[in-house]
Amino acid sequence: MPPEALRCKECKTEYPLEARYVCERCFGPLEVSYGDRSSADPAELRRRIQAGPYSLWRYADFLPVEHPQSALGAGWTPLVRADRLARELGIGELWIKNDAANPTHSFKDRVVSVALARAQELGFTTIACASTGNLANAVAAHASAAGLESFVFIPDDLEEQKVLATGIYGTNLVAVHGNYDDVNRLCTELSGEHEWAFVNINMRPYYAEGSKTLAFEIAEQLGFELPDRVVAPIASGSLYTKLARAFEEWLEVGLVAGRLPVFNGAQAEGCSPVAQAYAEGRDFCRPVRPETIAKSLAIGNPADGPYALDLARRSGGAIDAVSDDEIRDGIRLLAQTTGIFTETAGGVTTAVLRKLAQRGDIGADERVVAVITGEGLKTLECARGTFEAWQIDANADAFERAHEERLALAGRG
């Protein structure tokens, strides 16, 4: 079932498997088209998967790479049963897919692994990207491990932790005056001038396929079964839609049974073009200027926004937005009930999950998976002010007095 061509998602025109991302006829986005899988043997596919490495490459049969390779392992991250959070929210069965447990602590390691491997097959020696932070970390790290030069373009107001966790790898780090959409426009121009593999521009059809592996893992970790509902963040909309595509591929070949899960999308109110379009019944997104603490989701003109809208509607889901205060509360709630410290995107997902539960959208017998895409150490500022440390002298009496005072304040003394 090797990849056969790049195909336009709109007019279905096909192109060779090259470094291109837009249709010349209708300017629609391109995606990878695979061979006929109708005769695939699900039992054999399952054996091949289970005999594979504990990384995203165990799903090589469903990826657009002839020779799977990556210097850094990515994928096979934990799927954690979150019983305490489920009880807190009144949900029957809840799982957290913790993709912060990747080499550079976000799901972007998946997409970069696939894009970089395909770029090397096409002969590229320089890797580049436009990034809101997590992709910058991943491109810099994977290029360094592979011995390739890299150029990483970021907005100049990015969180310091993400900037430091990018520059340390020796990349060419370029801070651009403007937001992510400004950075992306610049990189689109540069991709026509330089023989570089921009992972999320001219390599985007291959890059996007890496997100499917997150869904493949969820299904496998659930015993080759599908969840009833998925709650995931939306930035460009690529991750959100590729999760669904992965489940559909496994349904088509018989690796899983049932129907596509309900898909709920999560955005920050300060950058919610897809949630706004959903609420207003539109099938297109009006660009917005981002203003939110969730910088990793701050894409004001999402490329896959229309496809995310379609997925939410046809799966019976929805797309919601939450405020910055709700995002901070979501980060704290997830940490205090599961022990998982997430960045702002995960705070968005958790806050929307809580909103769905409060609204009564989640059935008591549903199996729900919430997708956490990044590590909380990348957005430390959001934890500031959420707790206070005890201040005591270095003796036991001081501790006991402080302890008694706190018990009294809590009404338990």
Q: For 304-328, what is the mean pLDDT?
A: 98
Which comes out higher in pLDDT, residue 196 or 386?
A: 196
Collapsing DSSP to helix, strand or coil, 163 comes out as helix
Checking phi first, is residue 48 left (phi over 0); if not, alpha (psi -120 to 50) or beta?
A: alpha
Bridge partners of 262, per DSSP, are 229
Quick: pLDDT tens for 166-186.
999 999 999 999 999 999 999
Collapsing DSSP to helix, strand or coil, 154 comes out as strand
Collapsing DSSP to helix, strand or coil, 294 comes out as coil
What is the architecture, at CATH level 2, of domain 108-208? 3-Layer(aba) Sandwich (3.40)
Cβ atoms < 10 Å from Cβ of 331: 27
Q: Which pTM was predicted? A: 0.94
Helix (H) or strand (E) holding 328: helix 324-338
With a CB cutoff of 8 Å and minimum separation 6, the contacts of 133 are: 154, 158, 159, 162, 166, 295, 296, 378
What's the rounded Cα separation, in Å, for the pair 288 and 291?
Answer: 9
Nearest in space to 205 (alpha carbons), one of 60, 61, 66, 31:
31
Which comes out higher in pLDDT, residue 357 or 383?
A: 357
Sort 134 into a burial class: Cβ within 10 Å, 0-12 / 13-18 / 19+: buried
What's the rounded Cα separation, in Å, for the pair 413 and 403?
Answer: 10
Nearest in space to 245 (alpha carbons), one of 280, 198, 209, 291:
209
Strand runs labelled E in 250-366: 262-268, 318-322
Say whether pLDDT at 38 is over 90: no
What's the rounded Cα separation, in Å, for the pair 185 and 255?
Answer: 40
Unique residue bearing structure tokens 């405020």: 323
Quick: pLDDT tens for 45-62.
999 999 999 999 999 999
What's the rounded Cα separation, in Å, for the pair 324 and 308?
Answer: 22
Q: For 355-361, what is the mean pLDDT?
A: 98
Nearest in space to 353 (alpha carbons), one of 302, 318, 387, 324:
318
**Residue 413 pLDDT level (bands cut at 50, 70, 90):** very low
pLDDT at position 385? 84
- Which tokens go with 72? 């850094």
Quick: pLDDT tens for 60-96.
999 999 988 878 889 999 999 999 999 999 999 999 9
- Whether 232 and 243 have beta carbons less than 8 Å apart is answered as yes
Domain boundaries, the chain: 79-105+211-383, 108-208
Burial string for 160-172 (b: 16+ CB within 10 Å, else e) reads: ebbbebbbebebe
Sort 292 into a burial class: Cβ within 10 Å, 0-12 / 13-18 / 19+: buried
Inter-CA distances, 322 with 241, 328, 348, 350, 372, Å: 20, 10, 7, 10, 16
The DSSP symbol for 317 reads -
Does the fold of domain 108-208 match that of domain 79-105+211-383?
Answer: yes
pLDDT at position 412? 58
- Roughly how many angstroms between the first and final C-alpha of the chain, as a whole number? 67
Q: Are strands 262-268 and 318-322 parallel, antiparallel or unpaired?
A: parallel
Strand runs labelled E in 238-317: 262-268
What fold characterizes domain 79-105+211-383? Rossmann fold (3.40.50)
